Amino acid sequence: MKKILGTSLLLLSITIFGQTKQDSIQFAEISKEILNNGKSYTELKDLTKNIGHRLSGSEAYEKSVKWAEQKLREAGADKVWLQEVMIPVWVRGKESLQIKTQDGKWRNLKMLSLGNSEGTGGKDISGEIIMVKSLEEYEKLPNEKVKDKIVFFNYPFSQTFIETFKGYGDAAKYRVNAASLAAKKGGKFAIIRSLSSAFDDVPHTGAMRYENDNKIPAVAIGNTTADELEVLLKSQKITAKLNSNCGMKGEKLSHSVIGEITGKKDKNVIVVGGHLDSWDVGEGAHDDGAGIVQSIEVLRTFKKMGIPNNHTIRVVCFANEENGLKGGIQYGKTAKDNNEKHLFAIESDAGGFAPRGVSLEMDDEKRKQIKSWSNLFFPYGVYHFEGTYSGADISPLHAMGVPTAELVPDSQRYFDIHHTVEDTFDKVNRRELLLGAVAMTQLIYMIDKNW
Amino acid sequence: MKKILGTSLLLLSITIFGQTKQDSIQFAEISKEILNNGKSYTELKDLTKNIGHRLSGSEAYEKSVKWAEQKLREAGADKVWLQEVMIPVWVRGKESLQIKTQDGKWRNLKMLSLGNSEGTGGKDISGEIIMVKSLEEYEKLPNEKVKDKIVFFNYPFSQTFIETFKGYGDAAKYRVNAASLAAKKGGKFAIIRSLSSAFDDVPHTGAMRYENDNKIPAVAIGNTTADELEVLLKSQKITAKLNSNCGMKGEKLSHSVIGEITGKKDKNVIVVGGHLDSWDVGEGAHDDGAGIVQSIEVLRTFKKMGIPNNHTIRVVCFANEENGLKGGIQYGKTAKDNNEKHLFAIESDAGGFAPRGVSLEMDDEKRKQIKSWSNLFFPYGVYHFEGTYSGADISPLHAMGVPTAELVPDSQRYFDIHHTVEDTFDKVNRRELLLGAVAMTQLIYMIDKNW
């Protein structure tokens, strides 16, 4: 990987002359325009402060649909429309988790039910907590040790990975599978340690999944609470009691929001997008308000600067990424049904932090070509064109053969606040957010021109 | 620059084999140790919350000297000592800036006197404000237009530069020279728009300098206030009134704090450092508590992991960087007097943000050698080995011929909070801070082994 990088940079420094000068001037103008006049930051403030979190199916989500429609029009889209999507409706409702220590006292724990989890139907469910530190440890437990117990998966988020997405990937199975794992051996409900890189007590929600119809509840607790519980469990038996009302409430018609500027040469489509929905806590600022306002910024910048676009540049504000991916799936299906040729799609769904690179999921030739532009991006702090992932919402497009990519911002702070009450506007830095929009606009300018 | 980079990476990918494997394992172990067990973050919390800001000459600074001494011992230094330094004492005292608009009402402005500025001696000084947007505009003003006026230099921090240090460098002359410029044409005092990348109303202090004995006061206001003042001045005459007690209060004996682990092969010295003093507002968290705790982390890591150090590795917590550089000057002088050979020095004084590179100020051969290690650093997000600056405190060492360097963290957030009440511990992210210590430890490991 490293050798390839060295070689490609060398190749680049040869092949780049001729076409570079004009492009590097255009790169600088894009950057200057966005850093000085970009609206993403104020638009994000508007979205997060005036609408706030916006889970699929909520009234707030429907408000954000209208909001995105309006912002795309203001940005200068030639065409704006809503794409119908049937989305699952999950509702949290009231919830509480308590533990009883050996002194007989009940104590409330800060917690969040995991997204898509069923609750207790408003009744108390209680049992003795049994803790495991890993899946391996859990697999070894005989069923009778788990039966009627509360299973506490206390797997810590690894600090060792440099890219925190790897730590997240490493721990994600606990969130996704805890309930089904516990149910399989007769557990009453599952508690997980949050998928959190922070040293605090903030619980992180996020999607879980049931393997079958034995749907027991799953909840997350913060790291500090998890540590304290671990210490307590060393010396005593602890009873946990859950009361929650969450659960799936059927389906509902909702919308993704789409806006585009029409291609001057053809109607082939370049997609830039993020997801409009968020979890039902915090403000969905980094996840993924950032991706939405950055994508709109790309369109606005093309329009305002009058950059000639050969192909159609389309912003997609996807519905329901967090707990169903129905927006992305529907978008792919519609594209196929309408026989629309998609040249390229990029998503921003890793937070509004300073960009470091672009992850590329495409054939080697296209990947090589994009890498050959590296030197143009280098002055903007964007140097890393590796990775093999490109965003959940555009994975259906990728499955149809479309070359896809994802903006890769610095990942250090993301999993401190991801899916929590702390994912708020004040955690977003203006320049970092704008630089992400700069990098995506620059990349789309190159692809529009060369593909 | 770009071509050189490409070529050197290619060279690297050839020359690196053989020596790399062991080094890349050592890099990973250093990273793992610091990300999991590093103490910089909790030590920074201690320094910022229990001592707080610590301007040279203050009681808090003297407390921080004892604190650093203690932390260096706890980190495992073989030897810890204080280096005497005569430092200038500047005291802020009470201060206020008011403006009177045409309705006759006085209104308080948020402000900070610039560091090293003389005040009004507790008396009111007032006059009509005259605003200029740039030095060029000011130079054209005839003296009689400035005489007895208050000169408001309203030069905005440029958002266009990708590295915010360039925007800072571009605007710094206004802070440094505003008072002398205004005095030269008979102005009563100077107001500057803060050197701030933020869109808020937080005033930024920082060092100014007098060219001669005509020492009129200089103060900074926040960006919002500056914008509002600009609008007001378009339609009316405005009187400003300053009352301040700041000024230089002579000199005082103080100390830099030094700790080292002795070289196993020789007593040649590798320095890693930051500055222990801060401005007298906020908590001096990013500037430069971060550099101090990261430097101590380097020493702790060598000691704890038992990395064999051929040369002496010395942590220097420099006194008085902010308003005199006396610690750095004294350190250089003492090194010369004692005939100590310094192999290398690196400073961390650009904030505790995620590292992106190392700025190198040294001859081409050494620079090329360090660049040839780039691939080892790449997995840690450290990819940029350009730049020609290496930190104020070690500039006297550089002047003596020592190869010097500075850690280059992401710069996007720094000038939002630099020299303000907002430079507080909560602005520092644990992983970002620790990764800076990782990069410095890795670099010193390579230099210790190869030089």
**Given the structure tokens 């001729």, which residue do they identify?**
A18
Is A108 found in the same domain as A62? Answer: no
Return all residues near B377 (Cβ < 8 A) that are at least 6 apart: B27, B383, B439, B442, B443
Tell me which chain B residues have a C-beta less than 8 angstroms from the C-beta of A383: 383-384
Residues in A 287-346 with any Cβ partner in B closer than 8 A? none
Q: Which residue of A has its CA nearest to B32?
A: A160
- Using the CB atoms, write b or e for B130-168: b if 16+ within 10 Å: bbbeeeeebeeeeeeebeebbbbbbbbbbbebbbbbebb
Place B20 in a pLDDT band, splitting at 50, 70 and 90.
confident
Assess A160–B contact: CB distance below 8 Å, yes or no: yes
Place B250 in a pLDDT band, splitting at 50, 70 and 90.
very high
CATH number for the domain that contains residue A362 = 3.40.630.10
Q: How many domains does one find in chain A?
A: 2
Give the pLDDT of residue B19: 55
Mean pLDDT throughout A94-103? Answer: 96
Q: With contact defined as beta carbons under 8 Å apart, do B214 and B177 qualify? A: no
User: Domain of B357?
Assistant: 2-90+250-450
Q: What's the CA gap between A446 and A14, in Å, rounded? A: 18
Best mutation target among A37, A430, A433, A438 (most B Cβ atoms within 10 Å) is A430
Give the pLDDT of residue A386: 86
**Whether pLDDT at B287 is above 50:** yes
Tell me which chain B residues have a C-beta less than 8 angstroms from the C-beta of A197: 431
Cβ–Cβ below 8 Å for B197 and A431:
yes
Is B254 found in the same domain as B392? Answer: yes
pTM: 0.95
Place A19 in a pLDDT band, splitting at 50, 70 and 90.
low
Which of B245, B262, B294 corresponds to the end of one domain? B245
Amino acid at A313: I
Give the pLDDT of residue B190: 98
Q: Which residue of A has its CA nearest to B353?
A: A412
Cβ–Cβ below 8 Å for B383 and A380:
no
Assess B21–A contact: CB distance below 8 Å, yes or no: no
The tens digit of pLDDT for each residue in B365-386 reads 999 999 999 999 999 999 999 8
Mean pLDDT throughout A431-442? Answer: 98
The percent of residues in chain B predicted with pLDDT above 70, rounded, is 96
Give the pLDDT of residue A421: 98
Give the pLDDT of residue B143: 98
**Whether pLDDT at A418 is above 60:** yes
Residues in A 193-222 with any Cβ partner in B closer than 8 A? 197-199
Is B131 found in the same domain as B78? Answer: no
Cβ–Cβ below 8 Å for B429 and A410:
no
Give the pLDDT of residue B403: 98
Place B8 in a pLDDT band, splitting at 50, 70 and 90.
very low
Is B338 found in the same domain as B261? Answer: yes
How many C-beta neighbours within 10 Å does residue B383 have?
22
Judge if the upstream peptide bond of residue A227 is cis by omega within 30 degrees of 0.
no
Is A354 found in the same domain as A258? Answer: yes
Give the pLDDT of residue B387: 82
Is B268 found in the same domain as B183? Answer: no
Is A322 found in the same domain as A267? Answer: yes
Instruction: Tell me which residue in B413, B431, B432 faces A429 most closely, judged by beta carbons.
Output: B413
Which of A198, A219, A245 corresponds to the end of one domain? A245
Place B13 in a pLDDT band, splitting at 50, 70 and 90.
very low
How many helices and strands, by DSSP H and E, does chain A display?
15, 15
Mean pLDDT throughout B95-104? Answer: 96
Mean pLDDT over all residues of chain B?
95
Cβ–Cβ below 8 Å for A36 and B379:
no
Is B363 found in the same domain as B437? Answer: yes
Residues in A 374-393 with any Cβ partner in B closer than 8 A? 375, 378-381, 383-384
The percent of residues in chain B predicted with pLDDT above 90, rounded, is 94
Mean pLDDT over all residues of chain A?
95
Assess A429–B contact: CB distance below 8 Å, yes or no: yes
Assess A428–B contact: CB distance below 8 Å, yes or no: no
Best mutation target among B431, B432, B438, B442 (most A Cβ atoms within 10 Å) is B431
Cβ–Cβ below 8 Å for B383 and A384:
yes
Mean pLDDT throughout B273-283? Answer: 98
Instruction: Tell me which residue in A9, A35, A379 faces B159 most closely, judged by beta carbons.
Output: A35
Cβ–Cβ below 8 Å for A9 and B6:
yes
The percent of residues in chain A predicted with pLDDT above 70, rounded, is 96
Assess A17–B contact: CB distance below 8 Å, yes or no: no
The tens digit of pLDDT for each residue in A234-258 reads 999 999 999 999 999 999 999 999 9
Q: Which residue of B has its CA nearest to A15?
A: B3
Instruction: Tell me which residue in B31, B356, B429 faces A381 most closely, judged by beta carbons.
Output: B356
Q: Which residue of A has its CA nearest to B356?
A: A381
Is B275 found in the same domain as B208? Answer: no
Take residue B372 and report the two structure tokens written for it. 């040839």
Q: Which residue of B has its CA nearest to A162?
A: B380
Nearest one of B212, B240, B248 to B92, comparing CA atoms = B248
Reading across the β-sheet that carries B269-275, which strands appear in turn?
A: B79-91, B247-261, B312-318, B269-275, B342-347, B404-409, B355-361
Q: Chain B closest CA to A305's CA: distance in Å?
A: 16
Which of B245, B262, B288 corresponds to the end of one domain? B245
Q: Chain B closest CA to A318's CA: distance in Å?
A: 29
**Whether pLDDT at B299 is above 50:** yes
Residues in A 43-72 with any Cβ partner in B closer than 8 A? none
Give the pLDDT of residue B103: 92
Place A349 in a pLDDT band, splitting at 50, 70 and 90.
very high
Higher pLDDT: A14 or A352? It is A352
Amino acid at B217: P
Is A254 found in the same domain as A239? Answer: no
CATH number for the domain that contains residue A150 = 3.50.30.30
User: CA-CA-CA-CA torsion for A374, A377, A381, A386, nearest 10 degrees?
Assistant: -40
Instruction: Tell me which residue in B2, B36, B354 faces A412 most closely, judged by beta carbons.
Output: B354
Give the pLDDT of residue B14: 41
Tell me which chain B residues have a C-beta less than 8 angstroms from the C-beta of A1: none
Assess A141–B contact: CB distance below 8 Å, yes or no: no
Amino acid at A217: P
The tens digit of pLDDT for each residue in A180-189 reads 999 999 999 9
Place B6 in a pLDDT band, splitting at 50, 70 and 90.
very low
How many C-beta neighbours within 10 Å does residue A296 have?
28
Mean pLDDT throughout A399-411? Answer: 98
Q: Which residue of A has its CA nearest to B376?
A: A2
Give the pLDDT of residue A1: 32
**Whether pLDDT at B185 is above 70:** yes
Place A113 in a pLDDT band, splitting at 50, 70 and 90.
very high
Q: What's the CA gap between A312 and A395, in Å, rounded? A: 20
Q: What's the CA gap between A210 and B20, in Å, rounded? A: 46
Place A12 in a pLDDT band, splitting at 50, 70 and 90.
very low
Is A328 found in the same domain as A233? Answer: no
Cβ–Cβ below 8 Å for B383 and A383:
yes
Is A393 found in the same domain as A339? Answer: yes
